[in-house]
Copies of this chain bind each other. A is one copy, B any other.
Amino acid sequence: MSDRTTDPVPRRLTEWEQRTEVPLFAASLLFLLGYAVRVLSPHGSEPWRDIALALVAATWSAFVVDYGVRLRLSGQGRRFARTHWLDTLVLLLPLLRPLRVVRVYSAVQKRREQPRLSLYARVIVYAGLTSVLLGFSAALAVYQQEHGAPGASIRTFGDAVWWACATLTTVGYGDAVPVTPVGRLIAALLMACGLALLGAVTGSFSSWLLQVFSREDEKGPPASG
């Protein structure tokens, strides 16, 4: 989607990206964990809430440092923010980090040297996993916004997760719906991302099924081959 693949990327930037990919993914999981603890723990359970806040702050700083290093190594100056708009967006809204999972997946895959999954299976795993992480992030953020709002139908975190499922799959029962402007903004983001990601899951599954069934044909009676 970006021009990155065609640009001559400095070798040191590539090395940096390969080395930091997995630690940064761990950091983003810690960020999500910290955010979840902060949002879900009741007021009063103070030591944990403070630790969670510190975790969120620390991991966010790590993202900022990584962005700064890559900006310098790229030697592009301001153009970097525009050509890497997804990274810039993810820096500002770390809950969108799951969208970068695709890089981590291939990085991990390379190290383990395992027999790789088939193309369709990989797309399904990647898009499915990203959907789950995004859905969880959205459920947390919507719960934080909505659970105290007057007239809210999302009152518990369970409601928020249920709402996220119904939204990601575009079922949309309407029994749990955000009512605040910020909650609705998050919902609109989730709809847009979720639609594309689950479309990828559906499309790949469909292609995979067609492949399985047509392979079966080839194994059939030799007369037909």
Residues of A within 8 A of B (CB): 1, 3, 6, 102, 106, 115-124, 126-127, 158, 162, 165-167, 169-175, 177, 181, 184, 187-188, 191-192, 195-196, 198-210, 212-214, 216-217, 220
A202 contact set on B, CB distance < 8 A: 195-196, 199-200, 203, 206
Q: Which residue of B lies closest to A115 (CB)?
A: B3
Given contacts A3-B115, A126-B213, 8 further A-B contacts (CB under 8 A): A126-B209, A169-B170, A172-B174, A196-B202, A199-B206, A200-B206, A200-B210, A202-B203
Q: Could you list 29 examples of A-B contacts with CB < 8 Å?
A: A1-B118, A1-B124, A116-B217, A119-B213, A119-B217, A120-B210, A123-B206, A123-B209, A123-B210, A123-B213, A158-B184, A162-B188, A165-B184, A165-B187, A166-B172, A170-B170, A170-B171, A171-B171, A171-B191, A172-B173, A173-B177, A175-B177, A195-B202, A196-B202, A199-B203, A200-B202, A200-B210, A203-B203, A204-B209
